[in-house]
């Protein structure tokens, strides 16, 4: 075992690193990822040292696209961004953040409906996990109309949803 002074030094280094390293989690169903999600992600990259885009697996919500497909698309879209990682998780988002030593929870807002919903979730999260801070960005206006449920509807009915999606996401 290293001497006490070395262990103390390592401990101090670890604490300093964890305090200065800014890791955020961007959770969602990404079913599929849209240009709206991408807009929030790209604008957040300068704010954090690392962002984990985290696909929540929710048994109550039957996704249109399988988890592996959604992760593969996300990994393709995020590959140009070295500080972005892609993962999936089950259970509480706040637990996933703690397990991954992330102190920030990233969300996007399109309109008043999203705002009310995100405010409720953010305030409840603050009660449950006071050390987890929710950061909410308003989408750039040109992406405010994009909802993944409408994208799913277009795809389901054989329409062309490419105007709403990153170029890496196609259904051929």
CB of 36 to ligand ADP, least distance (A): 2
Annotated catalytic residue 148: yes
Binding residue count for ligand ADP, defined by CB under 6 A: 17
Question: Residues 128-157 vs ligand ADP: string with x where CB under 6 A?
Answer: -----------x---x--xxx---------
Q: Which of 23, 29, 37, 107 is labelled catalytic? A: 37
Question: Residues 44-83 vs ligand ADP: string with x where CB under 6 A?
Answer: ----------------------------------------
Annotated catalytic residue 107: no
**Pairwise CA distance, residues 47 & 37, whole Å:** 16
Residue 67's contacts (CB-CB under 8 Å, 6 or more residues apart) are 55, 57, 88
Residue in 1, 44, 3 with CA at minimum distance from that of residue 24: 44
- Backbone dihedral angles phi then psi of residue 105, each to the nearest 5 degrees: -115, 120
CB atoms within 10 A of CB 82: 9
Positions marked catalytic: 37, 61, 110, 148
């Amino acid at each position: 075992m290293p001497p006490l002074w070395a262990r103390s030094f390592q401990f101090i280094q670890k604490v300093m690193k964890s305090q200065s390293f800014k890791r955020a989690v961007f959770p969602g169903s990404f079913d599929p990822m849209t240009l709206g999600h991408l807009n929030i992600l790209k604008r957040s990259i300068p704010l954090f040292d690392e962002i984990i885009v985290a696909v929540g697996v929710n048994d109550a919500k039957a996704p249109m696209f399988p988890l592996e497909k959604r992760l593969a698309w996300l990994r393709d879209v995020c590959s140009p961004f070295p500080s972005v990682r892609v993962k999936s998780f089950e259970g509480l988002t706040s637990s996933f953040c703690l397990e991954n030593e992330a102190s920030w929870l990233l969300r996007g807002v399109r309109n008043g409906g999203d705002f009310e919903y995100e405010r409720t979730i953010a305030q409840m999260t603050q009660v449950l996990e006071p050390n987890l801070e929710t950061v909410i960005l308003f989408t750039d206006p040109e992406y405010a109309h994009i909802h993944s449920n409408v994208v799913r509807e277009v795809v389901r009915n054989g329409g062309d949803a490419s105007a709403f999606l990153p170029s890496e996401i196609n259904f051929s």
